[in-house]
């Protein structure tokens, strides 16, 4: 007999403002316990030293997490010049130093070289797997970490501030970047420093956008805890469809929605082809595919039973 899942069948998104020091998995656990949610996951890992936007999917929203993960991301980050670390961020040990500090002009001149499709070598302390083992586990054990370079996409990279102050002239520089899936900002900081004739590491990182989610929607854990005890769910939960804005929508009747939920196909006069988002009465029904005038469900949202005390959690 299957074990019954504990917790409430809450569905939707929490745009969490992750604090420094928590792993993404720990942040998901905190949110899940706060809401007593039966199911939760995150869209796009943030390192423990990073802060900012971590979209957390609850319930049926976990079925559309790939659409959030694939979205463009925006980061604000700081590079400390003259000091390379084995993790490429402030957590690691110093492995190289340099007295050279790049000028503002040389930094700005270098930025266009890191825009577009670029090749990165991921940091050895990363969650990528090598023959079934995490790279960071191998690195911590002192074993060789042989990662392959890969192509990532950066659509915007700007110098925000050189962080010039008393006794710290040219020690740090702040940037903002828009990038695609799989981009390591630690690697970007490392490679930019090398190109500028010095060494460096990522000293601060904050994510401000993930696809359709932005920093203005983000809620810190303390505020979320207060809202859970005093506000209705719609005050802190974002709809499942938040990540589906770029997918064509198809509206169906209640009877047609019931057929789709049972895995049955529908004949549709639509000229649309490919993946569509199906809804009935404004509520999500399924992700489906249209081919040759036939609408077939791919992922069905089981929201009909997700009501408790007359509150709809989707």
**What confidence tier does 148 reach under pLDDT thresholds 50, 70, 90?**
confident
Choose, from 47, 88, 89, 191, the residue flagged as catalytic.
Answer: 47
Most confidently modeled range among 102-106, 132-136, 302-306: 102-106
The CATH number of the domain holding residue 156 is 3.30.2350.10
d(CA 314, CA 61): 9
Q: Evaluate whether residue 253 is within a structural domain.
A: yes
Q: Evaluate whether residue 277 is within a structural domain.
A: yes
- pLDDT tens for 81-114 read 999 999 999 989 999 999 999 999 999 999 999 9
Do 205 and 128 sit in the same domain of this protein?
A: yes
Active site residue 47: yes
Burial of 166 (0-12, 13-18, 19+ CB in 10 A): exposed
Do 102 and 231 sit in the same domain of this protein?
A: no
Burial of 99 (0-12, 13-18, 19+ CB in 10 A): exposed
pLDDT of residue 290: 92
State the average pLDDT over residues 47-74. Answer: 94
The CATH number of the domain holding residue 289 is 2.30.130.10
Do 234 and 297 sit in the same domain of this protein?
A: no
| Residue 113 Rama label (left phi>0; alpha psi -120 to 50; beta) | alpha
- pLDDT tens for 247-299 read 899 999 999 999 999 999 998 876 778 999 999 998 899 999 998 889 999 99
Do 92 and 179 sit in the same domain of this protein?
A: yes
Do 145 and 269 sit in the same domain of this protein?
A: no
pLDDT of residue 4: 57
Do 82 and 206 sit in the same domain of this protein?
A: yes
Do 95 and 154 sit in the same domain of this protein?
A: yes
pLDDT at 306 over 50: no
**What confidence tier does 127 reach under pLDDT thresholds 50, 70, 90?**
confident
- Structural contact between residues 276 and 289, judged by C-beta atoms closer than 8 angstroms: yes
How many structural domains is the chain composed of? 3
pLDDT of residue 166: 41
What DSSP letter does each residue of 40-67 carry, written as one string?
Answer: EEESS---TT-EEEEEEEEGGGGGGHHH
Name every residue whose Cβ is closer than 8 Å to that of residue 47 and which is 6 or more positions away in sequence: 89, 186, 205
CA angle 278, 282, 15 (to 5 degrees): 90
Q: Evaluate whether residue 5 is within a structural domain.
A: no
**What confidence tier does 303 reach under pLDDT thresholds 50, 70, 90?**
confident
pLDDT of residue 5: 62
Do 143 and 38 sit in the same domain of this protein?
A: no
- pLDDT tens for 2-30 read 555 688 889 999 999 999 999 999 999 99
State the average pLDDT over residues 63-79. Answer: 94
pLDDT of residue 163: 58
Written in H, E and C, the secondary structure of 102-119 is CCHHHHHHHHHHHCEEEE
pLDDT of residue 150: 93
Do 82 and 186 sit in the same domain of this protein?
A: yes
pLDDT at 79 over 60: yes
- pLDDT tens for 159-213 read 998 755 444 457 999 999 999 999 999 999 999 999 999 999 999 999 999 999 9
| Domain carrying residue 127 | 73-210
């Amino acid at each position: 007999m299957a074990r019954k899942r504990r917790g409430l069948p809450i569905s939707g998104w929490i745009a969490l403002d992750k604090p420094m020091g928590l792993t993404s998995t720990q942040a998901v656990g905190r949110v899940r316990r706060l809401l007593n949610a039966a199911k939760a996951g995150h869209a796009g890992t943030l390192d423990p030293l990073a802060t900012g936007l971590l979209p957390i999917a609850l319930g049926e929203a976990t079925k559309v997490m790939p659409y959030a993960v694939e979205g463009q991301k925006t980061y604000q980050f700081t590079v400390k010049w003259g000091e390379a670390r084995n993790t490429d961020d402030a957590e690691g040990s110093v492995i190289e130093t340099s007295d050279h500090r790049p000028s503002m002009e040389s930094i700005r001149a270098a930025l266009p070289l890191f825009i577009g499709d670029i090749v990165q070598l991921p940091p050895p302390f990363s969650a990528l797997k090598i023959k079934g083992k995490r790279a960071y586990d191998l690195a911590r054990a002192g074993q060789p970490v042989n990662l392959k370079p890969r192509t990532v996409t950066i659509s915007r990279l700007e110098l925000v501030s050189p962080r010039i102050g008393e006794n710290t002239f040219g020690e740090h520089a702040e940037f903002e970047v828009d990038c695609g899936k799989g981009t390591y900002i630690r690697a970007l900081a490392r490679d930019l420093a090398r190109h500028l004739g010095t060494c460096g590491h990522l000293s601060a990182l904050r994510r401000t956008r993930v696809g359709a989610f932005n920093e203005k929607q983000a809620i810190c854990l303390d505020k979320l805890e207060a809202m859970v005890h005093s506000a209705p769910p719609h005050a802190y939960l974002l709809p499942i469809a938040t990540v589906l804005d770029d997918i064509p929508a198809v509206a169906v009747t209640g009877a047609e929605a019931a057929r789709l939920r049972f895995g049955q196909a529908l004949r549709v006069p639509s000229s649309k082809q490919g993946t569509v988002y199906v809804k009935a009465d404004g509520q999500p029904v399924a992700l489906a595919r249209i081919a040759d005038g036939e609408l077939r469900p791919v992922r069905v949202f089981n929201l009909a039973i997700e009501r408790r005390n007359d509150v709809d959690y989707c």
